[in-house]
Amino acid sequence: MEFLGSTALYNILRGPLVWVAFLVFIGGSSYKVYTLLYLAKKEKVIFPFISLKATLKSIFHWLIPFASRNWRLRPVMTTVTFLFHICLVFTPIFLLSHNILWRESWGITWWSLPENIADIMTMVVIFTCIFFFLRRIFAPEVRFVTFSSDYLILAISFLPFLTGFLAYHQWVLPHKAMVNLHILFGEVMLIAIPFTRLGHMFYFFLTRSWMGSNFVGLWHTRDW
Ligand code: HEM
Ligand code: HEM
């Protein structure tokens, strides 16, 4: 416990490990997207069918809640998924505590969310993760297609929010220990993105491009 709350650990987590986390996240994700595009190019039957207009239309339709038929068919899941993703992506980027760190390290700042709103958005992520977890356990049609890796990526998404929330409120563990734990889980999440299905944050756009272009170009119909 003493080591967990130590300045020595904090210095490692805030120093070299931040570099490792961001370099692996950016470098690894770029490499993954590059290899996918490279493989697609080799296939010969993929790129000639890609249309920019169909790609943008498909992405736009799938990013708007309830705009696609598939979203409308599952209203509860759609609401939960959108709430989860919006809060998951925007909270860390516009969090005041994070912005202060960016300013300290690089001298850059941007708009921050009011702290109480950020706190609510954090709770949204925590509760929606619990919802996904229970759904995987109790809904038979989901349990049937659930693997341990599904729990793993859920835990990786959940833990930075849980520990960030507990650190902010100074609950459960001494503040320094919880902040260290939070930074560690935040870095684990960034590093895991290129190596796990969390990479869908990039692949989503490639999938929509392919599906959108095929549906419009080949089958003359819409993919939403
Ligand atoms: C890369 C390293 C990271 C560092 C150095 C870092 C640092 C911090 C610090 C210092 C706090 C404030 C704790 C307090 O108020 O006492 C915080 C809070 C928080 N962080 Fe991070 N963080 C990192 C990564 C992440 C990631 C990847 C996520 C989520 C994707 C995340 C989500 C949060 C959340 C949700 C809060 C608390 C919001 C609240 O309830 O007010 N952090 N972080
Ligand atoms: C920014 C672009 C992103 C897009 C477009 C996106 C899109 C999606 C979609 C379409 C699903 C399937 C939802 C469903 O079954 O109804 C999904 C699930 C999921 N996403 Fe994302 N995502 C993004 C970013 C992220 C990030 C950054 C993380 C975490 C690091 C994440 C974590 C998850 C998790 C854990 C699930 C599965 C939830 C479950 O257990 O069913 N996503 N995402």
Instruction: Look at residue 215 in the predicted model and tell me its pLDDT.
Output: 86
Alpha carbon nearest to ligand 2 atom 10, residue: 204
Radius of gyration of the chain (CA): 20
Of the candidate ranges 31-35, 202-206, 212-216, the one whose mean pLDDT is the lowest: 212-216
- Is residue 222 included in any domain, yes or no? no
Alpha-carbon span 90 to 96, nearest angstrom: 12
Q: Determine the distance separating the centroid of ligand 2 and the alpha carbon of 58, expressed in angstroms.
A: 17
Instruction: Look at residue 46 in the predicted model and tell me its pLDDT.
Output: 87
Sequential DSSP letters for 28-96: IHHHHHHHHHHHHHHTSSSGGG--HHHHHHHHHHHHSTT-SHHHHH-HHHHHHHHHHHHHHHHHHHT-H
What does the pLDDT look like over 6-36, one tens digit per residue?
999 999 999 999 999 999 999 999 999 999 9
Instruction: Look at residue 217 in the predicted model and tell me its pLDDT.
Output: 73
- Is residue 43 included in any domain, yes or no? yes
- Is residue 160 included in any domain, yes or no? yes
Mean pLDDT of 83-107: 97
Better-predicted residue by pLDDT, 54 or 219: 54
Q: Which of 166, 182, 188 to mutate to test the pocket of ligand 1 (most atoms within 8 A of CB)?
A: 182
- Is residue 1 included in any domain, yes or no? no
Q: Determine the distance separating the centroid of ligand 1 and the alpha carbon of 216, expressed in angstroms.
A: 42
CATH number, domain of 98, equals 1.20.950
Q: Determine the distance separating the centroid of ligand 2 and the alpha carbon of 203, expressed in angstroms.
A: 11
Q: Which of 87, 150, 201, 211 to mutate to test the pocket of ligand 2 (most atoms within 8 A of CB)?
A: 201
- Is residue 206 included in any domain, yes or no? yes
- Is residue 196 included in any domain, yes or no? yes
Mean pLDDT of 163-178: 97
What does the pLDDT look like over 42-71, one tens digit per residue?
988 888 888 899 999 999 999 999 999 989
pTM over 0.85: yes
Alpha-carbon span 217 to 141, nearest angstrom: 33
Quick one: what percent of the chain has pLDDT higher than 90? Answer: 88
Alpha carbon nearest to ligand 1 atom 3, residue: 183
Average pLDDT, the chain: 95
- Is residue 173 included in any domain, yes or no? yes
Q: Which of 85, 89, 97 to mutate to test the pocket of ligand 1 (most atoms within 8 A of CB)?
A: 97
Q: Determine the distance separating the centroid of ligand 2 and the alpha carbon of 176, expressed in angstroms.
A: 31
Q: Say whether pLDDT at 81 is over 80.
A: yes
Q: Say whether pLDDT at 219 is over 80.
A: no
Residue 171 domain boundaries: 7-217
Mean pLDDT of 204-219: 87
Q: Indicate the number of domains in the chain.
A: 1
Instruction: Look at residue 85 in the predicted model and tell me its pLDDT.
Output: 98
- Is residue 224 included in any domain, yes or no? no
Quick one: what percent of the chain has pLDDT higher than 70? Answer: 100
Task: Give, rounded to a whole angstrom, the gap between the first and last alpha carbons of the chain.
Answer: 51
